[in-house]
Structure 1
């Protein structure tokens, strides 16, 4: 079942206590339409969690039994079922926050919790003028003579010269650590920026191609079709050419490789060094991912493309992923520094949780494997055994 970005954002704001009455009403009506019993979402959080937990237990009891727990899974089978039911009710995964640890129990004390990232980005015009975009909006639309948010609200540009929007001069959009944003490019193509990401693009696509640059970070694209004008993305040592398709590029400089994952259509991935020949060029099919690493050329493997864009859909999703990679994602989204106090970087874990949760819930989930433990001090997360 697919849920709209608007619905997921409403859920996020509800659990943050900032949902509007209209959003509460939308959630309430949707929930009631999928459940015979009624629960008003405006009850207090403690009562609501108690009711939900009771319902989850009852549904699980009716459908499955408790299965053995496999080592290094992030939760036993019964918890997976609970999360699945929660996904049906809410459209997102969530887990109960850790309770207060008993003295001497060894449980992690998350008194210094950290909120998840949010919608925040900066648009830099060709003339160097910057616009800090609203954190209560989700995306920006770049037009010929004006800038608007996704809800068609015109962005105030008082004192700023927008003449560069009518030219081919380069404009950039960047998100900080702990930030995400969506942009509709001048040709109608849409791009979602993950945390700590920067892209650069011409204010208008004039000429035979539509070319943008990923300076750093991760971007999911839905490209507007135009057979006469290929869409080209340059990231680090590679170039991706498409006519109209959906794909994701992970080009963080600290990842060691550039990953391009195709969801639909086809794309051509080329090494910049081999662009003038067939060497260093591959054509990706849906559910394939290319990896460009240093001078080792291009490798291609089969993947679950949905896993690659889980971040765009509001989830952390790990499939036998190394702790070093997991904690890089945590560092970017929660804007924290991660310190490994023991050599646990290569421990592999599997699981999923909402990106809208505070960091304590994610860390508790990882701790349930008995493979790692955490301590939060300020904006540093320490990893230990």
Structure 2
């Protein structure tokens, strides 16, 4: 295979766009390279078979990903083969499938005062119009209260539901549902719209919901919306200089302030994303995005890109899905969900990226074992602080 042809196919494999024929050619070349590489002679026959099988399975999943993606380690000879041809391209490490940890891997998670840190839970705080705060958790009990002609029901399974009380007038009291780091919750609004809140997020809304011909809510952080269709009353989400307007659709908004962008991703229907630069409507710009598109709002304006939606809503479905995500992005998500602080060693190579899938229900130690299984990074965990260092 010519060098230029291999580079073209390797790029398509890395992007997840390779055809079956291209994957076959790519695997054939890697097998040839391995057999002609001196390092390959140092690998035992049984380990050779495991490595080749893992690579084939990992690449095959790019064409037809199953519900749960297996996580594998990239071995040195594979990285060497890629680096010879791809030069300055960042290396993408695929995580090793979780297995009982051997002694070498234990060394990559040093801990002198490390408590067991469990996954986030279904918890939130509801702030009523009168300022009263109600703590919500995942205990299987049902509570209900009424406010301004609206019944508020705390249901099992981490959900809050608003319903109209027949025969009473609905007044515009303002409620806020908020989650801390390590918490998630969902709410069904008065019109039947359901909203899932990710960790460290809040949703502020009128209990009556309807006002001036619109349904309007304010969001900080990240949430997934399934909006009840109502052509006469558009649903509007406001978030730090952005306005998303829909009639009835499914979409996700990620607007964490420390990320520096607001990302709106569409899963069903269509939405209009409006940016009010400098808070001025006279300087606003807008785009309409389609299914599978993401509008990224930054100080430079709005950019529309294609996005794999299952990765965007992985948190709602109980998973971490990493696809060519930087170490900084990976650790930011882990930090929010496990309510831990992350410190990076100043010599750390932050340019490496990760791909793979892990359940968000796992304890933190399991997640760190998978990440350290790449052999490129290691962790020091003390109390609720993770220090990330180079493993080599």
TM-score, normalised with respect to structure 2: 0.68
Unaligned runs of 5+ in 2: 1-48, 70-95, 161-167
Query: Where does residue 32 of structure 1 map in the other structure?
Result: none
**Pairwise CA RMSD:** 3.5
Give yes or no for contact 1:240–1:269 (8 Å, CA) kept in 2. Answer: yes
Distance 1:257 1:86, change over 3 A: closer
Give 1 or 2: higher strand fraction: 2
The offset of 1:135, in angstroms, is: 2.2
- Output the CA distance in 2 between the equivalents of 1:154 and 1:266: 26
Give yes or no for contact 2:139–2:156 (8 Å, CA) kept in 1. Answer: no
- Output the CA distance in 2 between the equivalents of 1:282 and 1:263: 16
Q: Please say if 1:312 is aligned against 2:316.
A: yes
CA-to-partner distance for each residue in 1:211-236, whole Å, 9 max, x for gaps?
1001x211000000100000000111
- Output the CA distance in 2 between the equivalents of 1:329 and 1:138: 30
The offset of 1:276, in angstroms, is: 5.1
Query: Where does residue 280 of structure 1 map in the other structure?
Result: 285
Distance 1:275 1:303, change over 3 A: farther
The offset of 1:117, in angstroms, is: 0.3
Aligned length: 300
- Output the CA distance in 1 between the equivalents of 2:180 and 2:275: 28
- Output the CA distance in 2 between the equivalents of 1:150 and 1:66: 48
Unaligned runs of 5+ in 1: 1-64, 70-74, 89-93, 156-163
Helix, strand or coil for the counterpart of 1:254?
Answer: helix
The offset of 1:344, in angstroms, is: 3.1
Distance 1:182 1:105, change over 3 A: closer
Within a 5 Å distance, the mapping from 1:63-212 to structure 2 comes to: 66-68=50-52, 87=68, 96=98, 98-99=100-101, 101=103, 106-109=107-110, 112-136=115-139, 144-151=149-156, 166-207=170-211, 208-212=213-217
Per mean C-alpha deviation after superposition, the further-off stretch among 189-198 and 339-348 is: 339-348
Helix, strand or coil for the counterpart of 2:103?
Answer: coil
CA-to-partner distance for each residue in 1:323-343, whole Å, 9 max, x for gaps?
111111111100000000133
Distance 1:116 1:354, change over 3 A: same
Helix, strand or coil for the counterpart of 1:224?
Answer: coil
CA-to-partner distance for each residue in 1:123-172, whole Å, 9 max, x for gaps?
000110111113235999997432213459999xxxxxxxx993212110
- Output the CA distance in 2 between the equivalents of 1:277 and 1:141: 44
Distance 1:260 1:279, change over 3 A: same
**Which of 246, 251, 258 is residue 242 of structure 1 equivalent to?**
246
Give yes or no for contact 1:120–1:135 (8 Å, CA) kept in 2. Answer: yes
Query: Where does residue 358 of structure 2 map in the other structure?
Result: 353
